[in-house]
Chain A
Amino acid sequence: MARVLVMVGTRKGAFLFESDEARRHWELRGPFCEGWPVYHVIHDPDTDPATPAIYAAAASDWHGAAVWRSPDLGETWEHSSEGLTYGEDAPLRLSKVSGLSAGHGRLLAGAEAAGVFESRDGGVSWRLLSTLDDQPGRDDWNISGNQPPGHLGMPGLLLDPDDPDRFWVVVQGFGAFETADGGSSWAPRNRGLRADWPREHEEVGFCVHKLVMSPADRDRLYQQNHCGMHRSDDAGMTWTEITEGLPSDFGFAAAAHPHDRDGFYVVPLDGGHGRVVPDGRMAVWRTRDAGASWEQLTHGLPESAYVGVLREGMAIDPLETPGVYVGTSTGQLFASADEGDSWQEIASYLPGITSVEVAVLD
């Protein structure tokens, strides 16, 4: 029987939850990574399907940024920041690794200040791929006065499952960018997005929070933006807003249904500086028709719950009836074994959750 592993990053280390295929009873292990703030925990699907390598992007306030790795489902961990630097003479300082992605025999790491690094030796060493220097607006990206608290730099990385040279990155507050040549050259992919502020460049200046691809149709992308939910049917070349029917145009997290190209999940939040679920009603919202309509999923989720969910805070597993997992920035972890129809709280008192990912183990 398959096992399901939920990987959780928190403000105080990484945690692992394991269950069988029923996904009713969960075993918790952790905290790992010495209690460092962890921004993203992933597994590498190209490694042993029974014991995949796990990676955690972390940054200690005292000891700096590193990527932790575990070859044995969390039993042992090592860390490395070899090569995770812009150089001792560079004007950019790497404060944290905010996002990870694994595939095609390599790891990608997105960092603050904004740049993308790669590792081809399982996270032992890294090299800088790009800081997207030729992109419009690039000179403004890393000016500290322009940045919000908790700036993540490059929090989003989305791989093309078929083409190792093609991937997308998110530069916080500036938009999504695609490379088709392994990071040598880039193009903005923000046409059709909305921005409720003046922009200096036609294709840059959009606040992309989370970019996901439908596993069922690789031309179908979804994104939760600072300004609305959006869908692309041409792999990010153009975007169409699909916010209507949701209680808010703001949110961070998003997840795509593994089998249904029209299925997509979001957790709308109040768009002010509170950034918690509207009216204190914890809810995940689902569309089954590519955003034409939305349904509010609340069964088993709490009321009077003034919680938020961050951009990596939701994941969906690939089982026949997919499970959905949502972690809050105040440390509750909710799981649904029935595509979001019903929910249980599988952890109540974790540190603030920054990321949730899931793997099905053989």
Chain B
Amino acid sequence: MADVHLPPTLPPLFPDLPRQLDVDAASVQGAIAQLDARWPGLRDRLCEPTGDGSGGVVLRPHVRAFVDGERAEVATPLTAGSRLDVIAAISGG
């Protein structure tokens, strides 16, 4: 199980979504997919299409992910006991 921490801007968008939860997934993308299955539409709040024809997704420009404190992308692997922090960047005004 990965220990997933979500940004405070996300729970108001999805009923009963907590800030922290445990997810059994092999990658950041896998964790987001599992959350999306429980809270439909959540993936689209964190990811967008790559737009390069690959059919893949990337994190949105102002969303960051860290696995055990290291900058991560959607393909970054998770292991049992990993901590995944998803951060909405402190940008804007």
Contacts and interface: CB of A to CB of B under 8 A. Distances in A.
Interface of A: 34, 60-64, 66, 79-82, 85-93
B13 interface: yes
A61 B48 contact: no
B81 interface: no
B55 A88 contact: yes
Interface stretch (B20-28, B72-80, B85-93): B85-93
Contacts of B56: 88
15 contacts: A61-B92, A62-B88, A62-B89, A63-B9, A63-B13, A63-B45, A63-B60, A64-B44, A66-B44, A85-B44, A85-B49, A88-B49, A88-B56, A91-B51, A93-B49
A29 to B, nearest CB: 17
B41 interface: yes
B84 to A, nearest CB: 17
Nearest to B92: A61
Q: Name which of B13, B45, B57 has the most chain A CB atoms within 10 A of its CB.
A: B13
A64 B56 CA distance: 17
Nearest to A82: B41
Q: Name which of A63, A90, A92, A93 has the most chain B CB atoms within 10 A of its CB.
A: A63
Contact of B13 (A34, A82, A88, A91): A34
A170 to B, nearest CB: 25
Contacts of A60: 9, 45
Contact of A82 (B40, B60, B63): B40
Given A82-B40, A82-B41, A89-B55, A62 B50 contact: no
Chain B's interface: helix, strand, loop or mixed, by majority? loop
| Chain B, interface residues (CB within 8 Å), range | 20 to 34
Contact of B46 (A61, A63, A89): A63
B71 interface: no
Contacts, number: 60
A63 B10 contact: yes
Given A34-B9, A34-B13, A79-B13, A64 B45 contact: yes
A61 B62 contact: yes
B51 A93 contact: yes
B62 A62 contact: yes
B9 to A, nearest CB: 6
Contacts of A93: 48-49, 51
Contact of B88 (A63, A66, A80, A88): A63
B53 interface: yes
A324 B44 CA distance: 38
A90 B77 CA distance: 27
Given A62-B88, A89-B55, A90-B49, 14 more contacts: A34-B9, A34-B13, A61-B91, A62-B7, A62-B60, A63-B9, A63-B13, A63-B45, A64-B44, A79-B41, A80-B41, A85-B44, A88-B50, A89-B54
A353 B13 CA distance: 23
A71 to B, nearest CB: 15
A91 B52 CA distance: 7
Nearest to B62: A62
A66 B13 CA distance: 11
A86 B87 CA distance: 26
B29 to A, nearest CB: 13
B69 interface: no
Q: Name which of A61, A66, A85, A90 has the most chain B CB atoms within 10 A of its CB.
A: A61
Contacts of B92: 61-62
Nearest to B91: A61
B44 A81 contact: yes
A89 B54 CA distance: 6
B88 to A, nearest CB: 4
A60 B39 CA distance: 18
B19 to A, nearest CB: 15
Contact of A62 (B9, B12, B54): B9
B51 to A, nearest CB: 5
